[in-house]
Structure 1
Amino acid sequence: MATQKTLSTKEAADKLGTDPKSLRVFLRTPEGIALVERDGARYVIPAANVPKIAKGLAAHAKRAEERKAKEAAEPDLEPEDDDTTPDDEPEELEELGEDEEPTDEEDDE
């Protein structure tokens, strides 16, 4: 039985000309997950899958760039925070004199 050569994330990233973090981000996508195996928390990357990973990684990077460009082109629809929202205003509290005791309104019913 022939043993399949595998690579670590760092080794595969070096072969692909990227950094390990970018590769791991791609490997978490459904397309990336299909190309690797897991050994606990580590990715086990078959060397034979490196060309497929390169193609998928390039497509993933292109989609990310397109998404960023689209977000940059869209106007900001969020309202600006004006400091007069009701949540920012403290509740008014009734001051009691020294001799007064708090009363429950429910007892009056």
Structure 2
Amino acid sequence: MSFSLKVEEEHYVPYSYAKKILQDVISSGSSSNILQRTFEYLNTVSKCDSDVSLKIMEELKDIIPREDIRAIIASICPTTIEEVRSILVLDSGKTYTTDQIQKIISIVKSHMES
């Protein structure tokens, strides 16, 4: 039996949120070797839970316009200026000030400590 799916929306999501989605899929009985491996990988690289990562992404909206960059930051949870700058370099169309970078670090740290 074959069926087709229609993609209605596409979003960048942090690792921990992707892990939660895969966990739900696997728990429902729809598992495969690739899903299991991906879940295991995401389990090793996730730095916070899905709710925290989504809160980080939401708070970063005022500073970082690009969803993909926010998802990377919410996945990796950088805590130093150098780590943040190495991610922000992907956003070649925008220059970020040291104050903005400090604010990003502050947002990440505040959610990691809670």
Same fold (TM over 0.5): no
Which of the two has greater strand per residue?
1
Q: TM-score with structure 1 length normalisation?
A: 0.24
Which of the two has greater helix per residue?
2
Structure exhibiting the larger radius of gyration computed from Cα positions: 1
Q: TM-score with structure 2 length normalisation?
A: 0.23
> Which structure exhibits the higher relative contact order, with contacts defined as CA atoms closer than 8 Å and separated by 6 or more residues?
2
